[in-house]
Every structure is written in structure tokens, then in C-alpha cells.
Structure 1
Amino acid sequence: MSIFMPILIGLIAVSLMSLIPEPHRRRVNAVVVAGAGAAYLSGGGLGHWEFVLPVVMSYVAYRGLESWTFIGIGWLLHTAWDVLHHLKGSPILPFAEHSSFGCAICDPVIALWCFAGGPSIIGWARTRLSRRPVVPIGAPSGQPE
């Protein structure tokens, strides 16, 4: 499996999340990471241990309602669970053998964005790609009068 696609999926995910204005963006991400904690429940690949991650992720997501750092920690916890499932042979998508491996690559991309404070990627791209220089009010424009 190519590592390019999971990275691209992670970048698409953070770009779409960037469309949500703050302060809602952080809270929506806390809910999403809580849901990610229950992603493996139907597979049961780790037996009764499958109930550990949803409990831990519920706490982390609750703390994530007010902290991007906790949301990032949640994505890294999910990454660890992805690796366990990949090694155990019970993928997150039963019909896609390497889906847990892909998820283990995608999740840290999202976690890094969260550790950066969940900034608007769209806003960042707009300022970086803008061709017009920003001139402070009252500064000379450089054009003769």
C-alpha cells in the first residue's frame, strides 16, 4: 500500500475541518476523535480489550473540548490502536487488508495539525498564495504622487 494516499486523506481531512469556524472547529474535532475511539468495536480483533480505547478516548475527547493538545493525543492513541490491529491482522475495514496501516499513517497527519492548534489550512493557503503585498495603513505605497 502506498503511503501517499493516507497522507493525502489526512491533508484533505484537515482542509475540510478548516472550513468550520472557531470555536466550533475544536469542539467538532473532539467529537470526531471520540467517534474514532469506537471504530474498531465491531471487529473485535482484540477481544475484550476493544473496550479500553473507547473509554480512554471518551476522556481524551472530553478534555479535547477545551484543548487541541488532547485532540492530538487522541489521534496518536488511535494510531497506536491502528498499529495493533495491523499487526494482529484485523483491519479497520474488513474488506481492505491494509486499511489499519493506512489509518496509522493518516492519523498522525491530523494529530500534527491538532498540536499546531488546528489552524485554518484554507486561510493559511490564501495568505501564502496571495500575490498582493500587504501594505500597512499610512505606509508609503511606493508610487509617485
Structure 2
Amino acid sequence: MNYIAPILIGILYALVMSAIREPHRRHFNAIMVAGAGAAYLSGGGLGGWEFLFAAIVTYCAYRGLQSWTFIGIAWLVHTAVDLLHHFKGNPIVPFWHDSSLGCAICDPVIALWCFRGGPSLFSLFSFRGKAASPELEQAER
């Protein structure tokens, strides 16, 4: 369950985010990943390197206001730092030893969704008998 639950959480995240219309969905996700970038600042155990990581994710989040790709990159950077914390630092949730590992499994799921352009997962199922494309989603707005 330590491996399945984080994957399901990543899918659930994308599903919940699908309820937000574009471009607000992209902007909201840029803010979310910026917040995730600061998650370890209060005691992650890697010293000053925590600030460098936060700065890199903040830059990617800022660029993410205009680009889903940068949001995906930020989630992958967060994944790398999650792994560092799992093996060398403190867990993201102090009372759950494997929380950073769970985060490192969840984050790439979110990153993959971002690299696809953060599409509405609701648009994957069209009641017209065919999968809706991003162009169709844009046209329906």
C-alpha cells in the first residue's frame, strides 16, 4: 500500500484540479508547487541546501504561470529532494517515516499530468462517444 496509495493520490490530485477551468488551473498549480517547494524549510535536515531547492522550485513555479512544462519540472525537482530526504534527511511529515518516499512516488504522477498540459480528466470521457481533445475543451469554453 506504500506504493499504490501515493499513485492514487496523484491521480486524485489531477482529478480535483480538473474542476478548475483554464487558465486558472495552470495558475493554481503553479502556486501549489511553489508551496510544495517550501515544505522542508522548517527542518528538512539538509541545511542551507533547503534554500537552494526552494529557490529552484520558486523559479520553476513562476515560469509555470505561463508553462505547464515548468510546473512539471518543479514537481520532478521536488521528487528528487523527496528522495534525498527519505534517504538522508527528515521526512516531510515528522510522525510518518516513509512520507517523503510517498511524496516521491506521488509527485511524478502529477508531473506527468502537467507535461500533458494539465488536461481536464473530465474531458477524457465524452458523452458524444469520443474522447475530447484539448482543442474541444478550449472550444467549449
TM-score w.r.t. the length of structure 2 is 0.88
Aligned-residue sequence identity (percent) comes to 64
Local SS of the residue matching 1:112: helix
In structure 2, the residue matched to 1:74 is 74
Q: For structure 1, which runs of at least 5 residues remain unmatched after alignment?
A: 135-145
Q: Partners in 2 of 1:16 and 1:83 — Cα distance?
A: 26
Question: What number of residue pairs does the alignment pair up?
Answer: 130
Which residue type is aligned with residue 113 of structure 1? W
TM-score w.r.t. the length of structure 1 is 0.85
In structure 2, the residue matched to 1:47 is 47
In structure 2, the residue matched to 1:142 is none
List per-residue Cα deviations over 1:12-41 (Å, max 9, x = no partner): 000001100001100110111111100011
RMSD between aligned residues:
1.3
List per-residue Cα deviations over 1:84-116 (Å, max 9, x = no partner): 000014100000000000000000000000000
In structure 2, the residue matched to 1:37 is 37
Partners of 2:44 and 2:85 within 8 A in 1: no
Query: Any residues of structure 2 matched to 1:100-115 within 5 Å, and which?
Result: 100-115=100-115
Local SS of the residue matching 2:12: helix
Q: Partners in 2 of 1:82 and 1:13 — Cα distance?
A: 18
Q: For structure 2, which runs of at least 5 residues remain unmatched after alignment?
A: 131-141
Which residue type is aligned with residue 44 of structure 1? G
Which residue type is aligned with residue 58 of structure 2? S
Which residue type is aligned with residue 40 of structure 1? Y
Shift of 1:71: 0.3
